[in-house]
Structure 1
């Protein structure tokens, strides 16, 4: 029986991973650097320090002054401007799934590696704050994914046991974290391509968030 669903945010709820990739690619190209899709996939689900190391490994010897901090700060401002002007792009099926969960009394939380204020900002921009009484963001926990800490903290605040939680993730790191937490997990693919051994442990693979609904109906014996 599933009593709570814990959402990742970037690439799962919102189309932020692809937007970030294209903006990072453009910013790096202006410096003569090639930011690749493989680099972005390595960053999916990673915290800032891990992403900065990936960036440094690729470009540190070529352009040491252009750190990930410098690059990302500019990209972050561009993203905020874009979303303020055009709205934040929600992933297909997000609102339908949230309404289904609300209608059936299934609790919801967000557990993201992004800074807490960014998570709250995006959720408010999408007018989804009423669905998420529990928000876990960077700074609320010590160990980033694939550590299960963020998911376990979300479950604790929802007052639901780990085996009663379903985690929705787009990244391999996030799926590993869900498995380590002893929670159910569904992979909703975006940019990242998790290792096969990680995918084999998930409960299901759903192309969109609306496809999660039939799985929940079967799991909870709902009509």
Structure 2
């Protein structure tokens, strides 16, 4: 019987572990979840905006010394995430268009159910930026110092690389003020006048389109902040 082969290892032989692979460093921020404006709720908007900001933070000391490299990199990253910053605006615009279709129905098609749906759409489109339309929990957050206005978060994120007195940033903030004022006026009108009257419904419909115009102007201000 042939004896089995036996491999003898010299006592002077050193067994080395396999070489370690160097860690991979990602030069890009982690991918964001797929965007669907139809499912872009107010809560999802705030969460997504926070996800956008996290990978774009950089030590302020690096920027304060005038180092252009990091700042240019951050600006490029903001441009790449522009569609996510603009998504809440687009979602609100679509909601307002749906509300417009409801409020312009004829008298036989417009009843209490349609009125409730219309008012619900207005609250959703306002993105917690109108104090009178906030829920008790959202109002509590606001009183606790937590920012709840989605549009204000959009301005803050889009203009974070601009100086406080930068005219582009100031223009975006002015357009935000106009937008919130338009939403507030629209909400007051929808709650105060008798929308069962056709002429009053037309006034509300006109106010809805005025708010859409303010949304368009606000969106343009954000694009200018992002340089897109």
TM-score, reference length from structure 2: 0.27
Q: Higher helix share goes to which structure?
A: 2
Provide TM-score, normalisation by structure 1.
0.28
Higher strand share: 1
Which structure ranks higher in relative contact order (CA pairs < 8 Å, sequence separation ≥ 6)?
1
